[in-house]
Structure 1
Amino acid sequence: MLKKFKYSSERFENYSLQKLQKDIFAGVVVGVIAIPLGMAFAIASGVKPEYGIYTTIIAGILISICGGSKYQIGGPTGAFIPILFGIVITYGFENLLIAGFLAGIILFLMGVFKLGLLIQFIPKPVTIGFTTGIAVIIFVGQISNFLGLAGVEKHEAFIDNILEILININSLNIYSILTALICLVSVLLTPKFVPKIPGPLIGLLLSTLIAVWLYPNQVPTIGSTFGNIPSELPKFQMLDITYERIIELIRPAFAIAILGAIESLLSAVVADGMTKSKHNSNRELMGQGVANIVTPFFGGVPATGAIARTATNIKNGAVSPISGVVHGIVVLFVLLLFAPYASSIPLASMAPILMVVAWNMSERKEFLHILKTKSGDTLVLLVTFLLTVFVNLTVAVEFGLILAVILFTKRMSESVITEKVLPNPHSKTDKVDPTIVTDTHDCPQISIYNIEGPLFFGAAQTFEQKIMRTINYKPKVLILRMGKVPYIDTTGESYLSSIVNDFSKNGIVLITGLNQQPEKMLIKTGLSDIIGKEHFFERTGEAINYALAQLDVKKCSGCKHFAFRECVSLSKSDFKEAEEKRKLITSSP
């Protein structure tokens, strides 16, 4: 509790009237921008536009108050459109609210259990793939409204929506196209000529006024399609939550939660970069959770951090969460005062706004950059993108992550090096070298292996197979140089144990340079006791001296391999003389 209070107080440290004025100005600007976006996102998600407004008000205020970023602006976002629309089509609007409620609980628990940092482990090709896929779905989904097509039915499947457009292409409405073009041009040109005025607002107002004055009743509007927007506060309503519905909706709820967590934390990271600040990722997830738990009781759809609105908030001078609260209050006042007028907004005016949102969120430069690498990341990107577009977001993220893990495991397994080495006679320090090991220069009794990389489930078998080939000629001593093994899991330990057990029948295993984590693993499993504490060494030279003391000197006589410096004298000596030299070698420091 004290930590939470301290964090909250830090957010308003040295707060002043001047900073309040900055927050109010930023909040008003973002609130004005959020109104058309909230309605557009709701319509595209298959629900009434007022539900987008309700979400903007309630979730926006709660995310600012409870979240972990001072600058975060929350509300409905374009990223949610495909998944929310799919839930509405499959389960209905009431179940969408329940799924959003469950997602809020999941998000809150993610924050409680400090899982905020885990989001950073989602590979970039996965996030770019599904973000670009979502952008394509949003863009294509607005073509029918842009063209004013009549009789178009909305489907969950992307292909079905394309077919609907092609089937009804002859019903295009020239007035809708004109309205959409006016809005599109306004959205694109406003930032260049009057950058302080929100382009979506200018485009919406200008195209609506022209449509109402010049060709009234010629284009579908919000009112003619969804009915009038009520100019009243959202009403509290209980959700009919049952065990059966929870089981049915838990999977889409997880999809909402994961996407919401990714979007909100990405937005918070963007805000950090723009302000040189640092957000609290776990608190942010808890704030997102609270917002999504409360909002469904007022008819609001799932919400998350909005990157574009958060960036706009910062650019307009926001200094604290107050700007986010002001943004929600502004939307509330507009709802109460101007809701009846919103019913006259043409759907064709909303289409270009969403198309521009889709274009901006498409990550096209990053998408092309990853494509050019022609690597495993390219495959992950394309699989995630195609599954997002042609199947659904949940399947896309699941398969994308699984494929990324498989490819990562493969790359890591290939990075593990297991190579036979010997001391280099040309090196003053007898540094070991794999290049000098040949058929005619390799000790028959001592095998030294250099191991680099983590010994985990993906690489352990290959490691074992390379080592076990040595058993074919049964050396007396096996030295494993493990100074560059940072990690070993239970699978790696199991294969190492197999090697130790096989060699222990005829010889001994020595291990050098063992790191802390592998050492703890061998102690926990008891393998260190099987190997013997006297068989662990800090340096390879110490292990070689110990190994030389274990040699069968009879086999050294006449050997021409000369793998070690001592081999010259051992090879030329008779048995008794060699035995005395062997003892001299092992007793010398």
Structure 2
Amino acid sequence: MNVKYWLPRSFTVLREGYSVTKLSSDIVAGSTVAIIALPLAMAFAIASGVSPEKGLFTAVVAGLIISLFGGSRYQIGGPTGAFVVVLYAVILKHGYDGLVIATFMAGIMLFLMGVFKLGNIIKYIPYPVTVGFTTGIALIIFSSQIKDFFGLPIAKMPAEFVDQWKLYSTELLHVNYYAMAIGVVSMILLLKLRHRFPHIPAPIIVIILSALAVYLFKLPVETIGSKFGALPSTLPYPSMPAFSLEKVRVVFPDAMTIALLGAIESLLSCVVADGMTGDRHHSNKELMAQGVANIASVLFGGIAATGAIARTATNIKAGAYSPVSGVIHALMLLVFMFLFSKLIVLIPLATLAAILIVVAWNMSEFHHFKAIALKSERNDMVVLLMTFFLTVLIDLNTGVQTGIMLAGLLFIKRMIDVTGIVDTKNTIGMPLDEDDEPMEMDDANAISKKIVPKDVEVYEIDGPFFFGVADRLKNVLGEVSSPPKVFILRMRHVPMIDATGLHALEEFFDLCQSNGTILVLSGVNEHIKLKIRRLGFEKKIGLENITDNIDMALSRAHRLLMKE
């Protein structure tokens, strides 16, 4: 076992050398991120259906572990907008206890993903699927914040998008105009400050000003304190969830969703950080740290956590040098809880709603959504819209699973379309080059430049030979007017073959044999030769009938014809 491979990034970075100057950079960056993370952690917790302190617990515990043991130099972990939709639905169905079990299980799944080195596979989820569910989540976050933004007197919000707007249609007459004014002014300030003073943490400025306005003018709006009561000033003692087989079975699908979403979001954040810095993260270390962080988070009364793209980007822009900045961010949040818990309760919920609406717009990637929907090819557009609408109208589980399945099916269709089995002596219908000439004409090994005996047929498979095209091979002999004495099947452009393709090849050999035709394979690569050998097909067809190129195959055909 290579121990060095699994060492956390914090260890390898600090081993390179660390100085007071670098520590100073990390302190400034970590403190800056902590100021931004404070309102976001509480806002995401409230939007997820739990009390605000659970968001702070998550940011402290998960943020500390992700920075200490993760695979990225700059990653900042904590509660994020991506989880809001999933967590709110889980809490409505199973309560907070159900969420704890689901997140605990998701943590185990994430850890195992890292152990079995699945980090790179997660990256290959199709981009239209990622944009589709991200934009869908953003729309649902926006929808869920209408209640607090307008101060609507709704005791319990439904999780479904359509049900939310049905409820709003009956409650919009009961707008709290003080709350709406605070929400509108907060949003304007957030946008203006971000545009004019990008280095100033706009959210913390906005919540201070709005809290002061509510306190000084005694405005009748809902605040963190009026809804949730006093906040604790320190972390709770850890406690294990009460597991039962029934609870595990019920929340297992939600645990899978949390794990998959956490893996995608954290690795996406790492990729963004790499792009900003030129660094390279270690995806499997990151997944293992995310797993441990999620387990620890719920043990300390938190919620699900993952890498936070915006906070990670802020960390980099603020001059972070190492994962120490992420550790300082977590510790600073703990200090804020200890010192300012009595002031935090004054924050109006309308301001937090305004912050989340801006977050939703930023995470929606609307320009990417529009580009794929209007300018990409039809298959990508279908995957995008299907994922988006299913995420919004049903749930994230259905949206992501259907999107990935549909993308897979469309990919198979593409492979079927580009893979052909053609008569190489007939160039009609073959791909054309820029001069509208059959591409085979530029091929030095084209069959048209070879002498093919009268009783020999030459066909070629062009592309992956997998289950999607295997059936075509069965029909090839039917296209020939009379069974040839030798049938050469060129496979020089076949990069891979699956079990169905191998079975079809064996069936085709049996069909040739029944017609008195000898099958010769040409241009078989070493990988496919190995598969043929393992299957035992090499003995069946004969080693001499598996050739490296068309010249050897034609030479073999000449010898076979001379024997007759």
Band the TM-score falls in, shorter-chain normalisation: over 0.9
Alpha-carbon distance between aligned partners in 2 of 1:301 and 1:181, rounded to the nearest angstrom? 29
Conserved 8 A contact 1:144-1:152: no
SS at match of 1:140: helix
Relative distance call for 1:536 and 1:5 in structure 2 (3 A) is closer
Relative distance call for 1:428 and 1:36 in structure 2 (3 A) is closer
1:341-384 CA-to-partner distances (Å, cap 9, x unmatched) read 11111111111100110000001111111112241111111111
- Pairing 1:468–2:471 present: no
- Pairing 1:365–2:379 present: no
1:245-296 CA-to-partner distances (Å, cap 9, x unmatched) read 2122111111101100000000011111111111110000010011111111
- Pairing 1:60–2:63 present: yes
Alpha-carbon distance between aligned partners in 2 of 1:4 and 1:524, rounded to the nearest angstrom? 35
Conserved 8 A contact 1:68-1:283: yes
Q: Cα offset for 1:456?
A: 0.6
- Which residue pairs with 2:330 in the alignment? 328
- Which residue pairs with 1:267 in the alignment? 269
- Which residue pairs with 2:232 in the alignment? 230
Q: Cα offset for 1:6?
A: 8.3
Conserved 8 A contact 2:10-2:67: no
**2:117 aligned to 89, 114, 119, which one?**
114
**1:27 aligned to 26, 30, 33, which one?**
30
Q: Which amino acid aligns with 2:355?
A: I
Alpha-carbon distance between aligned partners in 1 of 2:237 and 2:8, rounded to the nearest angstrom? 34
User: After the TM superposition, which of the residue ranges 183-192 and 107-116 deviates more from structure 2?
Assistant: 183-192
Q: Cα offset for 1:217?
A: 4.1
Relative distance call for 1:379 and 1:2 in structure 2 (3 A) is closer
Alpha-carbon distance between aligned partners in 2 of 1:145 and 1:443, rounded to the nearest angstrom? 82
- Which residue pairs with 1:128 in the alignment? 131
Tell me the TM-score normalized by structure 2: 0.93
- Which residue pairs with 2:435 in the alignment? none
Q: Cα offset for 1:528?
A: 1.6
- Pairing 1:211–2:221 present: no
**1:282 aligned to 246, 271, 284, which one?**
284
Alpha-carbon distance between aligned partners in 2 of 1:359 and 1:54, rounded to the nearest angstrom? 26
- Pairing 1:492–2:495 present: no
Alpha-carbon distance between aligned partners in 2 of 1:442 and 1:233, rounded to the nearest angstrom? 82
SS at match of 2:18: coil
Alpha-carbon distance between aligned partners in 2 of 1:347 and 1:427, rounded to the nearest angstrom? 71
Conserved 8 A contact 1:153-1:164: no
1:311-368 CA-to-partner distances (Å, cap 9, x unmatched) read 0000000011110011011111111111111111111111110011000000111111
Alpha-carbon distance between aligned partners in 2 of 1:226 and 1:332, rounded to the nearest angstrom? 19
1:292-315 CA-to-partner distances (Å, cap 9, x unmatched) read 111111110000000000000000
Conserved 8 A contact 1:423-1:433: no
Q: Which amino acid aligns with 1:189?
A: K
**1:348 aligned to 347, 350, 356, which one?**
350
Tell me the TM-score normalized by structure 1: 0.89
Relative distance call for 1:388 and 1:430 in structure 2 (3 A) is closer
- Which residue pairs with 1:559 in the alignment? none
SS at match of 2:423: strand
Q: Cα offset for 1:423?
A: 9.8
- Which residue pairs with 2:304 in the alignment? 302
- Which residue pairs with 1:143 in the alignment? 146
Runs (4+) of structure 1 moved beyond 3 Å?
A: 1-9, 426-431, 441-444, 548-551
Alpha-carbon distance between aligned partners in 1 of 2:371 and 2:443, rounded to the nearest angstrom? 46
Alpha-carbon distance between aligned partners in 1 of 2:13 and 2:474, rounded to the nearest angstrom? 55
- Pairing 1:479–2:479 present: no
- Pairing 1:163–2:172 present: no
Relative distance call for 1:548 and 1:232 in structure 2 (3 A) is closer
- Which residue pairs with 1:185 in the alignment? 188
**1:518 aligned to 525, 528, 540, which one?**
528
Q: Which amino acid aligns with 1:519?
A: K
- Which residue pairs with 1:530 in the alignment? 540
Q: Which amino acid aligns with 1:396?
A: G
Q: Cα offset for 1:520?
A: 1.0
Conserved 8 A contact 2:10-2:68: no
Q: Which amino acid aligns with 2:306?
A: T
Alpha-carbon distance between aligned partners in 2 of 1:460 and 1:428, rounded to the nearest angstrom? 28
**1:419 aligned to 419, 422, 425, which one?**
422
SS at match of 1:422: coil
**1:539 aligned to 540, 549, 555, which one?**
549
Relative distance call for 1:114 and 1:5 in structure 2 (3 A) is closer
**Identical amino acids, percent of aligned pairs:** 44
Alpha-carbon distance between aligned partners in 1 of 2:327 and 2:155, rounded to the nearest angstrom? 39
User: After the TM superposition, which of the residue ranges 34-43 and 364-373 deviates more from structure 2?
Assistant: 364-373
- Which residue pairs with 2:517 in the alignment? 507
Conserved 8 A contact 1:422-1:432: no
Q: Which amino acid aligns with 1:366?
A: H
Q: Cα offset for 1:107?
A: 0.6
Relative distance call for 1:277 and 1:430 in structure 2 (3 A) is closer
Task: Note the residue ranges of structure 1 that are not aligned, 5 or more in a row.
Answer: 552-581
Relative distance call for 1:8 and 1:360 in structure 2 (3 A) is closer
Conserved 8 A contact 1:182-1:206: no
Task: Note the residue ranges of structure 2 that are not aligned, 5 or more in a row.
Answer: 428-439
Conserved 8 A contact 1:98-1:239: yes
- Pairing 1:379–2:382 present: yes
User: After the TM superposition, which of the residue ranges 471-480 and 292-301 deviates more from structure 2?
Assistant: 471-480
- Pairing 1:93–2:102 present: no
Q: Say what the alpha-carbon RMSD is for the aligned residues.
A: 2.2
Relative distance call for 1:117 and 1:313 in structure 2 (3 A) is same
Q: Which amino acid aligns with 1:517?
A: H
Conserved 8 A contact 1:190-1:202: no
